[in-house]
Amino acid sequence: MAILVVCPGCTSRFTVSDQFAGRTGPCPKCKKSITIPKPEAPAVTIHEPERPAAAGPGGKPLTVPFKSLDRPVSPLAFALGGAGAAAILLGAWLFKATTGGLPPPWLMLTTAFVVALPCAAIGYAALRNRELEAFTGRGLWLRCLACAAVYAALWWVRGQLPAEATSEMWQWLYIAPAFVLPGALAALVAFELDWGTAAAHFSFYVLFTALLRWLVGLTPL
């Protein structure tokens, strides 16, 4: 039987096996000490005190990290996200091949948001912390929607920059932090990632939209 635990330090949620009930160990994310609650029993039963598996100096029990029960993201959600991303790329290629022109700004902004949804879902499935309980169902898609809205807003802001400000790659050394920091923060808050994986999550969206821009005849960045 699994026990749901909420860290009092970082409020992360994860499940552990009931064999750890009553023991103390560090949180997998923030390392704050947590005491695992014992499941309520229908009646009071007296047992002999459980001996610790190992003891430190003075006979004190040693604390050990808890191994959480991994509940991965549904393969169906992962497959739907991949299929959606592939369909968007195919649609961009067909638009360029049939019209030969650039899509209108409203269509590009709408596509930037729609693209962000599968990117957020696939990125979370690939980069999430396996020691924490996975977001699934409605909760996962609400988080994907919030993250996608921020990503699309950053894409729109990038589109407002004058062409001369981004014509040379070295200029992105100064511009990129203004986009990466809020993008990584959105992923960090939405999916409880750390800064490194949150930045990688946003970078996945940037690479995908760069490919999409190239397919419709725009500069990738």
Clarify whether residues 166 and 197 are in a common domain: yes
Check whether 166 has a pLDDT greater than 70. yes
pLDDT of 149: 93
Nearest-angstrom CA–CA distance, 103 and 83: 22
Which of 5-9, 18-22, 165-169 ranks highest by mean pLDDT? 5-9
Q: Would 69 be classed as within a structural domain? A: no
Q: Would 197 be classed as within a structural domain? A: yes
Q: Is 53 helix (H, G, I), strand (E, B) or coil?
A: coil
Clarify whether residues 189 and 119 are in a common domain: yes
pLDDT of 109: 80
pTM of the predicted model, to two decimals?
0.60
Q: Would 127 be classed as within a structural domain? A: yes
Clarify whether residues 191 and 143 are in a common domain: yes
Nearby residues of 18 by Cβ (< 8 Å), 6 or more positions away? 1, 2, 3, 39
Task: Determine the structural domain holding residue 203 and report its residue range.
Answer: 75-215
Can you read off the two tokens belonging to residue 146? 């919030």
Residue 186 pLDDT grade (very low, low, confident, very high; cuts 50, 70, 90): very high
pLDDT of 162: 83
pLDDT of 159: 80
Mean pLDDT, all residues of the chain: 77
Q: Would 65 be classed as within a structural domain? A: no
Mode of pairing for the β-strands spanning 24-26 and 13-17: unpaired
220 vs 160, residue with greater confidence: 160
The one-letter amino acid code at 165 reads A
Residue entry with tokens 């029960």: 69
pLDDT of 145: 93
pLDDT of 69: 47
Check whether 62 has a pLDDT greater than 50. yes
Q: Would 203 be classed as within a structural domain? A: yes
Q: Would 68 be classed as within a structural domain? A: no
pLDDT of 75: 65
pLDDT of 163: 76
Residues 115-135, mean pLDDT to the nearest whole number: 83
Question: Alpha carbon of 184 to those of 147, 154, 202: distances in Å?
Answer: 10, 11, 6
Nearest-angstrom CA–CA distance, 209 and 124: 17
